């Protein structure tokens, strides 16, 4: 999806670029940990979404990043972030970016601070698949080890076991419907973490498009942030970090 460039969008991109260059890091969620991972999709059990990646069973290599938004010190409350890059056999990967939120329909579009990395992460902004409006989420898995309450605890939890989160989809008012699971594996180096560049607008399944009035802002702030820290988005089907 290409969102028309406008004067406000250009201003947003320049501001994001300047701030990222100033801090020499990501504009949003600068402090985090990245991991190799795997996404297993068992398929949507209810009405199909029309998105093959969500509806059809499959296993995909992935890169997973968990982060703090501000970031606040230690285990202080923060808007936590989860980014999952799902590498498909062909074409562009799917960069799913979700933030800590509540599970209830009226609150799933609001980012909410919390202390622990386990919990509900919502796409905040909705997607459109045909005429349907969808939200995507990662939910706490009751069978998974706890993910900890700070970045050091997160690293320790992943080293000890292989925790995971349940992937789910919902309409504006309906319940979350699980369709898969992401398993978090070996931690990547700090250098690899810094080189990761996600693009939630460009890296997506063909059947999905971002919806909402702020989609243009997300496109241009992410682009400005990447340019400010001197990285390029990875857009190919390789399982590596860059292509």
243: confidence class by pLDDT, cuts 50, 70, 90 = very low
Strand duo 177-187 + 209-210: pairing: unpaired
| Strand, helix or coil for residue 65 | strand
- Helices 7-23/215-228 angle, 10° precision: 40
Residue tagged 């080890």 (tokens): 145
Predicted confidence (pLDDT) at residue 28 exceeds the cutoff of 80: no
139: confidence class by pLDDT, cuts 50, 70, 90 = very high
CATH class of the domain at 7-228: mainly beta
Residue tagged 């923060």 (tokens): 78
| Planar angle of CA 91, 124, 179, nearest 5 degrees | 55
Average pLDDT, the chain: 82
Predicted confidence (pLDDT) at residue 226 exceeds the cutoff of 60: no
Instruction: Kindly calculate the radius of gyration of the chain based on its CA atoms and give it in whole angstroms.
Output: 17
124: confidence class by pLDDT, cuts 50, 70, 90 = confident
| Per-residue model confidence as pLDDT tens digits over 48-89 | 899 999 999 999 999 999 999 887 888 899 999 999 999 999
Which one is predicted more confidently, 45 or 3? Answer: 45
1: confidence class by pLDDT, cuts 50, 70, 90 = very low
29: confidence class by pLDDT, cuts 50, 70, 90 = confident
Tally of CA atoms within 13 A in the half-sphere of 141 that contains its CB: 20
Residue tagged 């999806």 (tokens): 1
229: confidence class by pLDDT, cuts 50, 70, 90 = low
> How confident is the model at residue 232, as a pLDDT?
62
Instruction: Determine the average pLDDT of the residues in 88-114.
Output: 90
162: confidence class by pLDDT, cuts 50, 70, 90 = very high
Residue tagged 């995971």 (tokens): 164
Distance of CA 206 to the CA centre of its chain: 17
> How confident is the model at residue 69, as a pLDDT?
86
> How confident is the model at residue 9, as a pLDDT?
56
Residue pair 12/217 in contact by the 8 Å Cβ criterion: yes
Predicted confidence (pLDDT) at residue 104 exceeds the cutoff of 60: yes
Residue 71 preceded by cis peptide, ω within 30: yes
Predicted confidence (pLDDT) at residue 127 exceeds the cutoff of 70: yes
Predicted confidence (pLDDT) at residue 240 exceeds the cutoff of 50: no
Helix/strand/coil percent split, the chain, to 5: 20, 30, 50
> How confident is the model at residue 237, as a pLDDT?
42
The percentage of the chain sitting over the pLDDT mark of 70, rounded to a whole number, equals 74
Which one is predicted more confidently, 164 or 223? Answer: 164
CA dist., res. 241 & res. 243, Å (int): 7
């Amino acid at each position: 999806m290409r969102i028309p460039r406008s004067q406000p969008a250009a201003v947003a991109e320049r501001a994001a670029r300047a701030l990222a260059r100033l801090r020499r890091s990501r504009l949003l969620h600068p402090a985090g940990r990245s991991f190799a991972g795997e996404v297993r999709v068992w398929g949507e059990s209810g009405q199909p979404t029309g998105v093959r990646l969500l509806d059809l069973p499959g296993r995909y290599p992935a890169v997973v990043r968990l982060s703090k938004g501000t970031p606040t010190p230690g285990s202080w409350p923060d808007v936590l972030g989860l980014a999952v890059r799902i590498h498909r056999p062909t074409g562009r990967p799917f960069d799913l970016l979700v933030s800590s939120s509540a599970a209830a329909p009226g609150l799933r579009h609001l980012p909410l601070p919390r202390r622990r990395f386990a919990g509900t992460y919502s796409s905040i902004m909705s997607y459109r698949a045909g005429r349907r409006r969808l939200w995507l989420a990662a939910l706490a898995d009751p069978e998974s080890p706890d993910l900890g309450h700070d970045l050091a605890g997160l690293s320790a939890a992943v080293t000890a076991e292989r925790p995971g989160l349940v992937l789910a989809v919902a309409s504006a008012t309906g319940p979350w419907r699980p369709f898969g699971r992401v398993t978090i594996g070996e931690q990547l180096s700090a250098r690899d973490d810094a080189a990761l560049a996600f693009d939630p607008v460009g890296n997506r399944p063909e059947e999905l498009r971002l919806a909402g009035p702020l989609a243009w802002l997300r496109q241009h702030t992410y682009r400005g942030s990447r340019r400010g820290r001197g990285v390029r988005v990875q857009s190919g089907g390789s399982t590596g970090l860059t292509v």
